Amino acid sequence: MYLFTSESVSEGHPDKVADQISDALLDQFLAYDEKSHCAIETFVTTGQVVIMGEVSSREYVDLQTIARRTINRIGYTKSEYQFDGNSCGIMTAIHEQSGDINQGVSRAEEDEQGAGDQGMMFGYATTETDRYIPVSLDIAHLIMKTLAEIRKEGREMLYLRPDSKSQVTVEYSDEGVPQRIDTIVVSTQHDDFDEDEAMLAKIREDVLNILMPRVKAQLRSDKMLALFNDDIKYFVNPTGKFVIGGPHGDTGLTGRKIIVDTYGGKGAHGGGAFSGKDPSKVDRSAAYAARHIAKNMVAAGVADEMLVQLAYAIGVAQPVSIYVDTYGKSNVKMTDGEIAEKIRQMFDLRPKAIERALKLRQPIYSETAAYGHVGRESKVVRKTFTSLYHDTKEVEVELFTWEKLDRVEEIKKAFGL
């Protein structure tokens, strides 16, 4: 028996505010110029936003308008938060992408586009949940999404403010099978109360009697529901008062929640963040490709759990290595090295090929910037973009393409399953 823990954070967490601004700006550039190259970092603190980074694009974007709209959508709309979309100061320090980098990325032959940076990226999948992500992370995300829905509905828990965090600890058998939930932590920012003790009691009561029943009602399998039990330890705002939060309580920076964004600590992470980066940056596109491979391989039955690592050299199109770890849970008579070689043969992992296969030049990134980049639903939506310099643009895009199980039959055939 062992315990494993994952955390999630709300869209109002300061680091996630920064991620959402960076990705909203990226989407704006891509909506009007799909060839834009962006690496946009955002910093948020008390009453202030700083937007930094490199952009090469034909499009001119009103950075302030996009940033303010994003902050207001999240829910920072009141002056008492010490950070709100209508009044915060916004500084910008955007410049052109380095020509030294661009010469390694751009190619006359488009398919030979080099990787935008060196590095290693990981994809992971497990049969623990029907989303193929760890159950601890799946539930932690669901708690945060549900709490945000309650806040935005404005019918219950009216004291809620945008910043919150959750953490879920699951007990596993020695064979790695989830047995039960051991601990749930929920910390949520709230309005000021007259009495601290009454406040804590009220928030705990509402978490147990309003939030958690709604969370359980959304669980997609009896297997997950069975993990809930009467012995779960709940820690609700364990530090006590949590009035000061958001960017006023803690500075936020793009890319500081990479484990929340991916697999909750399971598998591995190469260290590269996602938000604000266009898909020529393999930090983003290759991580999505590795997830797409791992998920389709596990769904096809090649293994019950799989980690896929891709590594690149800057300016070079083909990955320098492909690594697979099935954690001893392979269902085929092949070594992990042989599975990796089969992946090399089946998937074109050049950056441009990944962009094309997963449709990554669409403005699809705002939706990724909170509640995880994996374990999400792939779907087609219509999005509307407005600009001070162009007509309003409505585009149809496909979200979370790397979550599609569109290679399963091909993989089954290739592996004789």
Percent of the chain with pLDDT over 70: 96
> What strand order describes the sheet that includes 160-172?
2-9, 160-172, 178-190, 233-236
Angle between helices 408-415 and 282-300 (to 10 degrees): 60
Lowest mean pLDDT of 53-62, 168-177, 242-251, name the range.
Answer: 242-251
Is residue 94, in this structure, part of any structural domain at all?
no
Is residue 241 very low, low, confident or very high in pLDDT (cuts 50, 70, 90)? confident
In this structure, the answer to whether residues 206 and 286 fall within a common structural domain is no
pLDDT at residue 198 in the model: 85
Handedness of CA 96, 99, 103, 104 (dihedral sign): negative
Residue span of the structural domain in which 174 resides: 2-8+135-245
Which of 116, 111, 119 lies closest to 100, judged by CA? 116
Report DSSP state, residue 233: E
Q: How many CB atoms lie within 10 A of CB 229?
A: 11
Whether the predicted pLDDT of 242 surpasses 90: no
Neighbouring C-beta atoms of residue 226, cutoff 10 Å: 13
21 lies in some domain: no
* Burial class, 393, CB count within 10 angstroms (exposed 0-12 / middle 13-18 / buried 19+): middle
Backbone angles phi, psi at 48, to 5 degrees: -150, 145
Q: Is residue 375 part of a domain?
A: yes
Same domain (yes/no): 325, 403: yes
Residues 335 and 410 in one domain: yes
User: Quick one: 285 and 367 in the same domain?
Assistant: yes
In the listed set 198, 230, 245, which residue is the last one of a domain according to the structure?
Answer: 245
Contact 4, 266 (CB under 8 A): yes
Task: Please write the tens of the pLDDT for every residue from 104-119.
Answer: 555 556 666 777 778 8
The pLDDT score that the predictor gives to residue 192 is 86
Task: Classify residue 330 by its DSSP letter.
Answer: B
- Are residue 329 and residue 234 in the same domain, yes or no? no
* 103-112, 151-160, 183-192, 224-233, range with the lowest pLDDT: 103-112
pLDDT range class, residue 390, cuts 50, 70, 90: confident
**CA within 13 Å, CB half, 21:** 35
User: Which amino acid is residue 81, in one-letter code?
Assistant: Y
Helices (H), 60-184: 63-74, 99-105, 135-153
How far apart, in whole angstroms, are the C-alpha atoms of residue 323 and residue 340?
6
Q: Looking at the structure, do residues 239 and 161 belong to the same domain, yes or no?
A: yes
- Rounded to an integer, what distance in angstroms lies between the CA atom of residue 339 and that of residue 302? 9
Q: For residues 285 and 390, state if they share a domain.
A: yes
End of a domain among 245, 263, 290? 245
Amino acid in the structure at residue 262: T
DSSP 270: -
Same domain assignment for residues 343 and 391: yes
Q: According to the model, what pLDDT value does residue 116 have? A: 72
**How far is CA 278 from each of CA 337, 365, 389, rounded to the nearest angstrom?**
31, 9, 22
Same domain, 285 and 382: yes
Q: Cα separations (Å) of 139 from 167, 170, 175, 216?
A: 9, 10, 21, 9
Residue 250 pLDDT > 80: yes
CA dihedral 379, 360, 8, 195 (to 10 degrees): -80
**Contact yes or no for 276/23 (Cβ under 8 A):** yes
The answer as to whether 82 is a domain residue is no
Q: What is the CATH number of the domain that holds 173?
A: 3.30.300.10
More confident: 103 or 88: 88
Total domain count for the chain?
A: 2
Nearest to 267 by CA among 6, 34, 24: 6
Give yes or no: residues 173 and 299 share one domain.
no
Let me know if residue 156 belongs to a domain. Answer: yes
Which of 225, 245, 265 represents a domain boundary (last residue)? Answer: 245
Band of the pLDDT at 101, cuts 50, 70, 90? low
**Sequential DSSP letters for 14-44:** HHHHHHHHHHHHHHHHHHH-TT-EEEEEEEE
Instruction: Tell whether 298 and 237 lie within a shared domain.
Output: no
Q: What is the pTM of this model?
A: 0.94
The pLDDT mean for the chain works out to 92
State mean pLDDT over 75-83.
Answer: 92
pLDDT at 196: 80
> Sorting pLDDT into bands at 50, 70 and 90, what band is 19?
very high
Q: Sheet holding 252-253: strands in order across?
A: 89-95, 48-56, 37-45, 252-253
Q: How confident is the model at residue 102 (pLDDT cuts 50, 70, 90)?
A: low
289 and 411 fall within a common domain: yes
190 is a domain residue: yes
The reply to whether 175 falls in a domain is: yes
pLDDT at 104: 53
HSE on the CB side for 299, CA within 13 Å? Answer: 20
388 has pLDDT over 90: no
Q: Which has more pLDDT, 204 or 117?
A: 204
Please say whether the beta carbons of 370 and 11 come within 8 A.
yes
Measure Cα distances from 327 to 320, 344, 372 in Å.
23, 20, 24
Question: Which pLDDT band holds residue 203 (cuts at 50, 70, 90)?
Answer: very high
pLDDT of residue 109: 62
401 within domain boundaries: yes
Q: Is the pLDDT of residue 199 over 70?
A: yes
Q: What is the CA radius of gyration of the chain?
A: 22
Higher pLDDT, 287 or 197: 287
For the cut 70, the answer to whether the pLDDT of residue 384 exceeds it is yes
Going by pLDDT thresholds of 50, 70 and 90, the confidence category of residue 197 is confident
The predicted pLDDT at position 125 comes to 98
350 contacts 113 by C-beta, under 8 angstroms: yes
